[in-house]
Amino acid sequence: MRRESYLSQPSVVEIYPVFSGTDIILRKNIELAEKEEIQDGKKNKYKVWECDEIQFHYQGKVTQEEIESDFDYWFAKAEEVPDPSSVKDLRLEDARKAKYREIASACEQTIYAGVDVSTSSGVEHFSLTEKDQINLFGKKMQLLAGVEKLEYHEDGQPCKYFSAEDMQNIVNKAMFYVSYNTTYCNALNMWIKSAEKASNLEQIRWGAEIPEEFQNEVLKDYMKVLASGGIA
């Protein structure tokens, strides 16, 4: 951002569609200022328009109306970018897609990180990558078949036998953890879908409390279980 001066009052927003996207100029704190200069020993007073200005290139199409309706968001975001020649994901639909990707990635990372489970050996940690989930589904089938001693392993530990009771607890905790986070992710996506301005997306992040209007009945049931201390 820089302070600029103009002889006539400048526009708050200027956009210039180009082949590679849109060149944008944003201005705020526009005010008429009185200046003074000395020429030939005489003081001359004159007035100019001063403003805080930022210029950048947006990688995509955007309308002046969309920027004006969410001006503070656009100005603040443009100030943050390290490279003003390549700005993206500020327009509502672009920002919405980026937010979907952000939440999906956070959900996956959270699930894959896994869960702690209390077993007869103590608290053990189990990752829940897609492969781990498939393996645990296999253990669930073994349990249903009546197997009483099942081989598996805690993260970074050698394989060992777990009792049917311990393995059932591992499966239950793991499946609840996956289901809860998947449901929470779905609720966040509904919240994202409802955004009418790009700035509305700023408050949506992984770990945020879901507003009541986006809490589906499944999530509410899971939240009740967690509030009561989780599954047994």
pLDDT, tens digit (0-9, with 9 covering 90-100), for 53-74: 999 999 999 999 999 999 999 9
* Mean pLDDT score, 36-43: 80
Domain shared by 81 and 23, yes or no: yes
Domain shared by 217 and 107, yes or no: yes
Domain shared by 79 and 187, yes or no: no
Which pLDDT belongs to residue 31?
96
What is the reported pTM?
A: 0.85
Domain shared by 133 and 194, yes or no: yes
Domain shared by 13 and 80, yes or no: yes
Give me 18's structure tokens.
């180009």
Mean pLDDT computed over every residue of the chain: 94
184 domain residue, yes or no: yes
User: Which residues span the domain enclosing 29?
Assistant: 2-90
| Cα–Cα dist 4/106, whole Å | 41
Q: How far is CA 105 from the centre of its chain?
A: 9
Contact 177, 111 (CB under 8 A): yes
Residues of the chain with pLDDT > 70, as a percent, come to 100
Give me 133's structure tokens.
């989930």
